Structure 1
Amino acid sequence: MIRRGRGSTGTGRRTALPDGTYAPTERVREGAGGTLVVAFHGDDGRRATFDVSTLPLPGWHQVLAAAFAERTGPAGGLRTLSAAGSGWGSLGRLMRFLGSLPQPPAVPGRLTPDHLTAFHAHRTATAPVTGYRDLADARVLFTLPALREHVSPEALDHLQRRLPAPRSATTSERGVVSAAAGAGRLTTGYSDGELARLMAALRADAAKIRDRIRAGEKLLRRYQHAPASLNEEDRELGRMLQMMAATGQVPTPPGARLNPFAPERVQLAGHLFLTLRDLPPLMLLAAALSERNGETIKELPVGHRLLEDRAVELVIVKRRRGARRWFETLTWEIGVPGRELHTPGGFYLLLLELTARSRQWCGSPLLWCVWRNGHGARLDVADNHLAPFENSLRGTPILPTAWAANRPRPLLAAPQGSAAALPLQVSFNRIKTSMEVRRTKRMGGHLPSAAKSNSMPVLFRNYLSGDPVITSWAEEVLGEALVDAEQAARQAHERAMQAAGGGPRVLHGPTDTTTSGNARPALETGWTACVDHDHHPLTGKQCQVSFLDCFHCGNCLVTRDHLPRVLALLDALAQRRHELPEEDWWARYGPTWVAIRQDILAKFTPAELEQAQAAKPGDALLDLVENPWETP
């Protein structure tokens, strides 16, 4: 195939095609000893074979192999090794259950809804969450063309029904999940103090690793160019470093025990290579700076592109997004020299530098390449350079909590009450949650702007909902908003009083009491009385305002007889507060609420309020004084 760059095709020019005839690889084939296997090559570059012959019920094998090959093929939904392994496990559990029945369905056509109901009941009794996933995987597999034609319509209809939801794990207020999801395991983010201490510890340990390897590289260069300038101890160390750089093998230091597990070899290897014990702080810091989850950090690639030495562009793996949506191109800021531990792009380039020696010997396209003691890994060699997550994301345990507890200065969680501080539980999930919370706070709680690597529903449901930091911040923001709304309502009430004659007047006599300068009795209104309905203080004309606006008017008269109705109105306003958004409620009813609380109730004694509370009517008549289209 010949291609000469972009724009090589166009009108009148043929599209470049591969030479020869393309023959796709058979994914279902016979293995050694006549077995039937399905070959898998995922989008993550990992390969595996799944032996269908190990499953019970041989009459199912051929169609199961074809269906599973379609499910894990290029157009299927299981395109990583971990996803294919999970699907294979669900299939194996179903087939082993069917094979254990007194009268198993020997071929797919004999599968009945009763078999599927019994399988669901069996899995629900033992593992509810896994049982739900097993039935969901079976539904997808059985509806594929390779298997659908061999299963009865009744069984297919049974699988298409809505699956019963699994029992969810209960979570306490402190974010501790019950035993169903791992007892004592925290899922919430860190407090501000915990996150600050964690980030300081990660940067401190990463700086030690960086300085250690750079010092070893510097000593190696000095030994290669001017060995005579070194003292005897450094010259001996330089000689061993040169041998390590040339062969990738770590010798036993002079004076160390002749023991394949000697810690002196690990210490010597650390002068040029990353070791397994270096992974926790480096990987956790990478997750914090990039704000990505642990799976993405484990699969960071070597391939990248520099953008004017200011940013790094690379393609990462973002799982659980659906078929053919696992890859994402992103750009990380490099930052100024010396700030590599504070920017994702600068830290990524630093990691490339620290892992370069081991990558030379293992040749992996992934970022994380380390040296390990071959004897400790029970290999036939003394030294082994490997990419620990190339074959499986679970191939090498990181144990971040053990790293935090075994540091010279262990990390402790924030104390709860009078209890002593406990070791800080560290995990990729908690770091990711903390970073999502902080970014959401920086964006002012605006989810469309805060959603970075997840959709808005996923961001809220899996990271923000229930987190104590975001809950406390939201309560603080809401409290400030309510204070601002109340202040605005008070200012609106004061402006209305100044324009309408100074606000209501409170008397302790009966309603028909005449006021000085006015021989006529006061006119009853909705909840108060009006001393001069024909002359509004602002316009001088007949009053046309709402009864709610009476509470700002100088003609408003309130006596002890009005108090029960005013209290009923206050209850009605409180009920409307549950029916309207806070912003709309304060704009419509806030000034009236302020006038009642501040200018009327404050002028009555507690005994008078208690007596009026017992006599207040059941209907406040609020609906009658508002236009019907304004009623919420």
Structure 2
Amino acid sequence: MTRRGRGSTGPGRPSSLPPNDYEAPAPVRKGVGGSLVVDFHGDDGRRATYEVGELPLPGWHALLAEALALRIGPSGGIRTLAGARGSWRALGSWARFLERTFPSPDVPEELTRAHVDAFHTRADASPRTRYSDMLEMRLQFEDSHLEGRLPAEAWDAFNRRLPRPRSVAIGGYSSGELDRLTAAARADTSRIVRRIRAGEQLVRQLAEDAGQVEPQRRELAQTLAATGEVPLLEFGLDLRQRRAELASHLFLTWRDMAPLMALLALATERNAETLKELPAKHRTLEDRAVELVVVKRRRGAKKWFETVTWEIGPKERELHTPGGLYLLLLELTARSREICGSSLAFCIWRNGIKNRNEHFAPFETALNDGGQIAMSQWAATRSKPVLADPPPAAKTKKNHAEKPNGESDEEPARTGPTPLKVTFNKIKTSVEARRTKQLGGHLPSSAKSNTAQTLFTNYLEPDETTREWAEEVITEALADAEQAAWDAHATAVGRRGEPTVIPDAESPEQLEDAGLPAQTARDLADGALDTAWTACEDYEHHPETGAPCGDSFLACFHCGNCLVTRTHLPKLLGLLNGLGTLRERMSEDAWWKRYGPAWAAVRHDILSKFTPAEVDKVRQQPLPDALLDLVEAPWEQP
């Protein structure tokens, strides 16, 4: 099979096939001494070998090896080396736990429900570890190829509902913290760029005109440019530090990784795993953008790789755009990459011993940096530390003496500035929240490297600043909607007149004293003028048209013919309750458009004419039905 890549197949060009004598490797093979071995080949090229024969309980080895091979093999759900290590760890925990039980199940047929229950509730592991181990072993044993290999009662114990342990939500940074972190990362990255470019300039001067190079720097430039190796100098206590300072003239070091990766995370809005595996291979689109294929893990089979396009921007803005920063990274790591031959963007110099490869790609074999990228330590120890926002003012204990004017004698407790805790998770949460705010909170448009559901659940919901922003947006939107409804009511009142509210009159005499004609007062007191929730003084003559009224009963609240007395209070409160129920079943926009003007008129223009005591007294009594079926056809009601 020599044909590879795009264009190797097509009409008349069949797919390449393996030789006739090709046999796929067995999922489980025998190693040294007959031990069962399972090999893992990840989608990212990383490999591992796991010897099941090293585990206790030999009677379980065949089942455990087959289960592990199905889980981490080509058709399994585990595609990363970290995932394979997790599966192997859970398998080892399972075997070692069963060995300690009494009686110990020497073969799978002896496994009981009690063994599974004890594994799930063991005291030597945290709740999160017990949950993940139980879930992993269930996934390993549930493959159809292993059906029936465990006793029914044991498998029934595995199939229990596993409630996920509660985790502490990881919020993001405030706007101030994010701005300070971005400024610090950009400033330190700029210093790194100036340092390495100055070293490159020194090497170019040496090649063009060695006489212009200072003698004390000429030997260093010749050594670095010729071999890429840092001289070992004389021995001393500060040997490693001095060698690192010399290497930093031309090469990226571990010390540079924290600000550079923090700025990459802020500019590209990608997680740490994707940034660590950035490829050096890319395509430049008209000097405006770069196109490259990045890795996005945990997205399911065949969905790992994604083609992204990043803006380059002008040269003076290379620290502000993702494409410009990516090209700058390639520039800073070019010499180390040429020496170590890696295809990844991150290639650095490490301070090793003699005859050791000091130029390497730190994330080529594993994504774990071993604690070398200490981002919080970088933020706290730089010349101008990145500080967190001050906590809410704490209160000191009250003094024994109390002020005569009754004021509190408490004073805010003074606390010093706290360095900002910098993690990739918090950066990712912050940039996701920032993008969502910039797009007005529209989740489908805000989702970039995740689904809208994942964006909300994992990034927006735990972030306190996002919740506060969302509450402000909702409050402003509701205020705007209420103001629009009130404006619509005021406009209608301006055309038709304002309703007449008589809060202190019920008898015909009282109504007549309030200014109503005698016949109207008697009819109103007798209920002859009542409509759905109010009364109408003259439905035969509409205030605008002069014709018989044909408007909805909801329009009565914007009409000069509307009459309201104390007897109408129960109906009005029942209407408000009905409108509140509809609000829970409808969208806010539809509710405000259909019922908002009437709701605003009742709340602010009618109920305000009654005393709060009168309204509360009526609320304590059973309220009548809202009678909304009088204004909406049943098939039109939400």
TM-score with structure 2 length normalisation? 0.87
Cα offset for 1:94? 0.6
**Structure 1 residue 316: deviation in Å?**
1.8
C-alpha displacement of 1:45: 1.6
Q: Could you report, residue by residue, the CA deviation over 1:525-560 in whole angstroms, capped at 9, with x for unpaired residues?
A: 344332223333234344443433222111112234
Q: In structure 2, how many angstroms separate the alpha carbons of the residues matched to 1:7 and 1:83?
A: 34
Aligned to 1:181: none
- The residue number in structure 2 matching 1:611 is 614
Q: CA deviation at 1:423?
A: 1.1
Q: Distance in 2 between matches of 1:121 and 1:86?
A: 19
* Aligned counterpart, 1:76: 76
Inter-partner Cα distance in structure 2 for 1:451 and 1:579: 27
Structure 2 counterpart of 1:163 = 161
Q: Secondary structure at the match of 1:63?
A: helix
Give the whole-Å Cα distance in 2 for the aligned partners of 1:52 and 1:5. 37
Quote the offset at 1:242 in angstroms: 2.0
The alignment status of 1:532 with 2:538, answered yes or no, reads yes
Is 1:390 the counterpart of 2:367? The answer is no
Q: Deviations over 1:101-159 (max 9, x none)?
A: 12222222332333222211226x73222212212211221133554453334433443
Q: Greater CA deviation, 512-521 or 588-597?
A: 512-521
Distance 1:595 1:39, change over 3 A: closer
Work out whether 1:225 is the aligned partner of 2:215: no
| Partner SS, residue 317 of structure 2 | coil
Whether contact under 8 Å (1:245, 1:357) holds in the other structure is: no
Which residue does the alignment assign to 2:482? 486
CA 251–5 in structure 1, closer or farther in 2 if over 3 Å, else same: closer
Query: Given the alignment of the two structures, is residue 137 of structure 1 paired with residue 136 of structure 2, yes or no?
Result: yes
Please tell me whether residue 596 in structure 1 is matched to residue 618 in structure 2. no
Aligned to 2:431: 435
Look up the equivalent residue of 2:603 and give its one-letter code.
R
Q: Residue 209 of structure 1: CA displacement? A: 0.5
Alpha-carbon shift at residue 476 of structure 1 (Å): 2.1
Contact 1:227 1:235 in 2 (8 A): no
Structure 1 range deviating more: 567-576 or 329-338: 567-576
Summarize the Cα distance change of 1:99–1:492 in structure 2 as closer, same or farther, 3 Å threshold: same
Seen in structure 2, the aligned counterparts of structure 1 residues 388 and 577 have a Cα distance that, compared at 3 Å, is same
Amino acid at match of 2:447: A
Q: What value does the CA root-mean-square deviation take over the aligned residues?
A: 2.7
Q: 1:424-573 residue pairs with structure 2 within 5 A?
A: 424-506=420-502, 508-510=504-506, 512=508, 513-514=511-512, 515=515, 519-520=519-520, 521=522, 522=524, 523-563=529-569, 565-567=571-573, 569-573=575-579
Q: Distance in 1 between matches of 2:139 and 2:175?
A: 44
Distance in 1 of aligned mates of 2:114 and 2:209: 81
Shift in alpha-carbon separation, 1:611–1:26, aligned structure 2, 3 A: closer
Residue aligning to 1:404: 379
Determine if contact 2:189/2:260 at 8 Å carries over to the other structure. yes
Equivalent residue, structure 1, for 2:388: 413
Alignment of 1:12-23 (within 5 A): 12-18=12-18, 21-23=21-23
Q: Please, which runs of 5 or more residues in structure 2 have no aligned partner? A: 394-414
Q: How does 1:173-252 map onto structure 2 within 5 Å?
A: 187-230=170-213, 234-252=214-232
Distance 2:194 2:374 in 1: 23
> 1:143 corresponds to which letter in structure 2?
E
**Matched letter for residue 406 of structure 1:** T
Report the alpha carbon displacement of residue 394 of structure 1 after superposing the two structures with TM: 1.5
Aligned twin of 1:180? none
CA–CA distance in 2 between the matches of 1:304 and 1:98? 51
Distance 1:259 1:599 in 2: 84
Tell me the equivalent position of 1:179. Answer: none
Please give the alpha-carbon distance, in whole angstroms, between the structure 1 residues aligned to 2:472 and 2:387.
Answer: 27
Change (3 A) 1:541 1:276: same
State the secondary structure of the residue aligned to 1:619. Answer: coil
Cα pair 2:571 2:626 within 8 Å, conserved: no
Could you tell me which amino acid in structure 1 is paired with residue 67 of structure 2?
A
Q: For residues 550-586 of structure 1, give each alpha carbon's deviation from its aligned partner in whole angstroms, at most 9, with x where no partner exists.
A: 2211111223454455455445544544444332332
Distance (whole Å) between structure 2 residues aligned to residue 339 and residue 612 of structure 1: 64
Report if the CA contact (8 A) 2:505-2:565 is conserved. Answer: yes
Q: 2:61 and 2:67 mapped to 1: Cα distance? A: 10
Secondary structure, in 3 states, of the residue corresponding to 2:249? coil
Alignment deviations for residues 372-426 of structure 1 (CA, whole Å, 9 cap, x no partner): 2214xxxx64772222222222243212111100110001111122354311111
Contact 1:340 1:346 in 2 (8 A): yes
Match of 1:338 in 2: 316
SS at match of 1:282: helix
Identify the residue that residue 621 of structure 1 maps to in structure 2. Answer: 625
Letter in 1 for 2:376: T
Distance 1:103 1:559 in 2: 84
Aligned residue identity for 1:247: T
Structure 1 unaligned blocks of 5 or more: 176-186
List per-residue Cα deviations over 1:289-308 (Å, max 9, x = no partner).
11111111112122222233
Aligned pair in 2 of structure 1 residues 9, 565: CA closer, same or farther (>3 Å)?
closer
Taking structure 1 as reference, are residues 486 and 40 closer, same or farther at Cα in structure 2, changes over 3 Å only?
A: same
1:276 to 231, 254, 279: 254
Deviates more, 1:430-439 or 1:3-12: 3-12
Partner of residue 320 from structure 1, selected from 298, 307, 325: 298
Question: C-alpha offsets along residues 307-345 of structure 1, whole Å, 9 cap, x if unaligned?
Answer: 333222222221112233322222222222222211112
Using the TM superposition, give the Cα deviation of residue 452 of structure 1 relative to its aligned residue in structure 2, in angstroms: 0.9
Distance 1:510 1:189, change over 3 A: same
C-alpha distance in 2, partners of 1:300/1:509?
Answer: 80
Q: What letter corresponds to residue 238 of structure 1 in structure 2?
A: R
Is contact 1:261–1:373 with CA below 8 Å preserved after alignment?
no
Report if the CA contact (8 A) 1:252-1:264 is conserved: no
Q: List per-residue Cα deviations over 1:565-608 (Å, max 9, x = no partner).
A: 5455445544544444332332233222322333334444xxx4
Between the aligned partners of 1:145 and 1:481, the Cα distance in structure 2 is 53
Alpha carbons 1:302, 1:365 under 8 Å: kept? yes
Using a 3 Å threshold, how does the CA distance of structure 1 residues 27 and 531 change in structure 2: closer, same or farther? closer
How many angstroms apart in 2 are the aligned matches of 1:536 and 1:139? 74
Distance 2:25 2:577 in 1: 75
Corresponding residue of 1:307: 285
Structure 2 distance, partners of 1:90, 1:484, is 55
Q: CA separation in 1, counterparts of 2:80 and 2:479? A: 52
| Cα separation, partners in 2 of 1:465 and 1:303, compared to 1, 3 Å | same
Identity level (%): 50
Q: Residue type of the partner of 1:394?
A: N
Aligned partners of 2:12 and 2:390: how far apart in 1? Answer: 74
The AA in structure 2 aligned to 1:550 is: C
Counterpart Cα distance in 2 of 1:4 and 1:300: 23
- 2: CA distance, partners of 1:574 / 1:26: 66
Question: 1:500 deviation in Å?
Answer: 2.6
- What is the rounded CA distance, in whole Å, between the counterparts of 2:37 and 2:442 in structure 1? 50
SS at match of 2:79: coil
Mapped partners of 1:30, 1:572: distance in 2: 74
| Matched ranges for 1:30-179 at <5 A | 30-122=30-122, 126-144=125-143, 147-148=146-147, 150-159=149-158, 161-169=159-167, 171=168
Q: Which amino acid aligns with 2:485?
A: A
| 1:611 counterpart letter in structure 2 | E
Inter-partner Cα distance in structure 1 for 2:345 and 2:625: 72
Three-state SS of the structure 2 residue aligned to 1:64 is helix
Paired with 2:587 and 2:570, the residues of 1 have a C-alpha distance of 27
Paired with 1:11 and 1:257, the residues of 2 have a C-alpha distance of: 67
Letter in 2 for 1:188: G
Measured after TM superposition, the shift of residue 66 of structure 1 is 3.0
Q: Distance in 2 between matches of 1:524 and 1:453?
A: 60
